[in-house]
Structure 1
């Protein structure tokens, strides 16, 4: 995303936080184990002294992979990560004989916007929802086992996607394995095992944490003047004159990450205009206060 400067300012170098500061204002990236719910998997963090530990995007007990966990005050932005794109590697078993062409044709037909009926076992109301499937790529075929990678909108049920693809082929299919390989900006190779995290934590090694700033890499950003910090901390909206610089793709009513001149994330705003107005307007509200991290 291109950064547009509205007015010049002096920026301070980002200051790395201490271990204690990160305990209150950070996130953890864990590789969730198989056979345990997301909630039970993260419960050990409370035993380590964290008041809040909220995971961003639930994984079923038998699903492994990327599980971002927001700690203490950082828990306020869990919804931002929960709504980010997800990537999975899935293995399905096809119930009847098929060809590679059938698989690839089906993957193509299920790429784009699809209708998905929420599964009966889901915790949310059962209804048809629109979901975007950005890509489906075949990895391997071994007899009736098909392994593939899918990049999709948050809230997509991969088990249901596989069931529907099986119905479309006329063969039937069901999921036997699922691993989340990406959640928003975070990849599987960045994640720690539970044991590795505990080992680093007990040594007070800051590498067991990730700063909250990493969680908003994929959304638009705005930097505000020092004089606007106190009003922001009290819940006030930010006016155009308080903007220093911003990214170029801000749209009306979209979520934007708000930074101070020390390049620290201080909250999330809801834009009341677009990037053109952020540059050219002098009067009026640019964005309202949605999440305050000060």
Structure 2
């Protein structure tokens, strides 16, 4: 991806805003992300409620429900980050699954069955699912047999969001004409977020206690990520200080306010509007393709879709529509 710099001399005023990595725990609680390694047993809603209550919050979001028996990566969104929970839900997912498969199934038959489950497949939610049952398709990008014992197989599944692994196991049984049952499921990744950056409930409790009781914030700071972690996969448009306040108020981004932009994107593409300090202002839709922006001297570049920055962080310097 190319990055088109329109004003190499642009600078930022240290009096306003701050680098995301410099935010305090309180600021991250107001707008941040915690990657939880969900344990088996409780529902996703129950573990979210536990963390919410631990931090004394009224609301908290989570990205991508896991069944009670499943474990693994569950992104939790705090404060203004909840506005981006829907984006987290669209992330591709990766799972490690353990299935009961009869010993009578040959390796050749097993591979043939797995091959028919790769690519775009029908994926009907199981009866125990909390969502409305309807026929839909989902894409399974990767389905790899990691190991096999006489009665179990271990699979790695990389798939589109909303894919039901329990349904995949049922369908494998239909293809093999043998009973197949999903017995363990662990989400190893949600988009770019993986287990290496995820914390257990006990680790969250310990880190919170060190911060609240011992004034030792280091462990909790490592767990609470700035909201910007949610948009690292999006193309960016960098906004000069003088235009940040207007965009934070929901105004369109005009060409004079653009410092740089990622190239190769078309009209209507979703972009992250960032300050020169790397702060997320808003998710915006391009009004023109990114290649055209460098040819413009004025006019609208993007419209706000989801504003996350509060209006008091930067002064609103521009007052005219062309600002």
1:173 alignment partner in structure 2: 180
CA distance in 2, matches of 1:246, 1:132: 31
Select between 94-103 and 259-268 the one with higher mean Cα deviation. Answer: 94-103
Shift of 1:225: 2.1
Deviation track 1:172-201 (CA, whole Å, cap 9, x = no partner) reads 422111000001111112111111112112
Q: 1:170 to 1:276 in 2, by over 3 A?
A: farther
| Higher mean C-alpha deviation, range 126-135 or range 29-38 | 126-135
Partner of 2:19: 14
Larger Rg: 2
Can you list the C-alpha shifts for 1:229-263, whole angstroms capped at 9, x where unaligned? 12211112223443222223434433322211111
Return the offset for 1:281.
Answer: 4.2
TM-score (norm 2): 0.84
Which structure shows the higher strand fraction? 1
TM-score, normalised via structure 1 length = 0.91
Q: Please say if residues 235 and 289 of structure 1, whose CA atoms lie closer than 8 Å, have aligned partners that are also in contact.
A: yes
Gaps of 5+ in 1: none
CA RMSD of aligned residues (A): 2.1
3-state SS of paired residue (1:214): helix
Mark the runs of 5 or more structure 2 residues left unpaired by the alignment: 212-216, 310-323
Q: Report the CA distance shift for 1:161/1:6 in structure 2 as closer, same or farther (over 3 A).
A: farther
Residue 147 of structure 1: how far off its partner (Å): 0.5
Aligned equivalents of 1:278, 1:119: Cα separation in 2: 48
Taking structure 1 as reference, are residues 227 and 149 closer, same or farther at Cα in structure 2, changes over 3 Å only?
A: same
Segments of 4+ moved more than 6 angstroms = none
> Secondary structure of 2:123's partner?
strand
Q: Aligned partners of 1:29, 1:117: CA distance in 2, in Å?
A: 28
Q: Secondary structure at 1:41's aligned position in 2?
A: helix
**Number of positions where the alignment pairs a residue of Structure 1 with one of Structure 2:** 294
Q: Tell me whether 20-29 or 232-241 shows the greater mean CA deviation.
A: 232-241
Equivalent residue, structure 2, for 1:248: 263
- 2:35 alignment partner in structure 1: 29
